[in-house]
Amino acid sequence: MTNMPVTTWSLEQTAPTDLLPAQAPQGDVRIVRSEVPSPEFSRFLYASVGGDIQWIDRLGWTYAQWLEHLERPGVETWVAYERGTPAGYVELDPQDDGVVEIVYFGLIPAFRGHRIGGHLLSYGTARAWDLADRWPGLAQTKRVWLHTCSKDGEHAMDNYLRRGFRLFDTKVEEEAVVAAPGPWPGAYPG
């Protein structure tokens, strides 16, 4: 199997005032919280957004694993819709001591370049900062962090930096080259 070097960058905000919101796109774009834990919907979003950039770590999850994850207090999925069609999502995962990770963020390929990404990241980050307001018992958010890597979209890092995230760690590791799984075999031209 062939390997390739993959650079992973970790970024953070340490105060709500760090967030530099993007302008909302024109047209009918809405962001809605997916409040009912749905493994089917979450797997659809995961495979559709990450299929062309080799998101593979959750592809083998069972229904029970998805449900267990989604039912954890504070785990939230915020979905962007363009004219009623899912366009992308942000998944928030609270951790210890008021830390919230943006575990997944991205757009379905057909919606990239529509100026939705900055708006969705801004909205999702704001929801990370006010997560404890919706989940009694969670500590107030003190830090929001995420990671991106060299396999992600070409504009990902710029989007994070423009939203006020700061780099705090960089790692380079060898990873096996895998075919982009897509939401189904042959979904992407190539």
Q: How many domains does the chain have?
A: 1
Q: How far apart are CA 135 and CA 124, in angstroms?
A: 16
Asked if residue 60 is part of any domain, the answer here is yes
Parent domain of 139: 3-176
Please indicate whether residue 179 or residue 27 has the higher confidence score (pLDDT): 27
Look at residue 188 and tell me if it is in a domain: no
Asked whether the whole model's pTM tops 0.75, one would answer yes
Report the pLDDT value the prediction gives residue 189, as an integer from 0 to 100: 60
Number of C-beta neighbours around residue 101 at 10 A = 18
Does 46 reside within a domain? Answer: yes
3-state secondary structure of 93: strand
Mean per-residue pLDDT, 168-177: 93
Residue 185 lies in a domain: no
Mean of all residue pLDDT scores within the chain: 94
Kindly report each contact of residues 132-135 with a partner whose C-beta sits within 8 Å and lies 24 or more positions away, as own/partner: 132/98, 134/76, 135/73, 135/74, 135/94
Pairing of strands 99-107, 143-149: parallel
Please write the tens of the pLDDT for every residue from 62-108: 999 999 999 999 999 999 999 999 999 999 999 999 999 999 999 99
d(CA 95, CA 108): 27
Residue 189 lies inside a defined structural domain of this protein:
no
**Residue 145 above 60 pLDDT?**
yes
Q: How many CA atoms lie within 13 A of 80 on its CB side?
A: 28
User: Stretch 148-175: mean pLDDT, rounded?
Assistant: 94
Does residue 184 form part of some domain?
no
pLDDT at 187 (0 to 100): 75
What is residue 190's predicted lDDT score, i.e. its pLDDT?
Answer: 54
State how far the Cα of 79 lies from the Cα of 89, in Å rounded to an integer: 4
pLDDT digits (tens, 9 = 90+) for 7-17: 999 999 999 99
CATH number assigned to the domain comprising residue 24: 3.40.630.30
Q: Is residue 183 part of a domain?
A: no
- Report residue 85: phi and psi, to 5°: -105, 130
> Distance of alpha carbon 98 from its chain centroid, rounded?
19
Q: Under DSSP, is residue 18 helix (H, G, I), strand (E, B) or coil?
A: helix
Residues 127, 132, 134, CA angle at the centre, nearest 5°? 75
Kind plus residue range of the DSSP H or E element containing 81: strand 76-82
User: Is 111 inside a domain boundary?
Assistant: yes
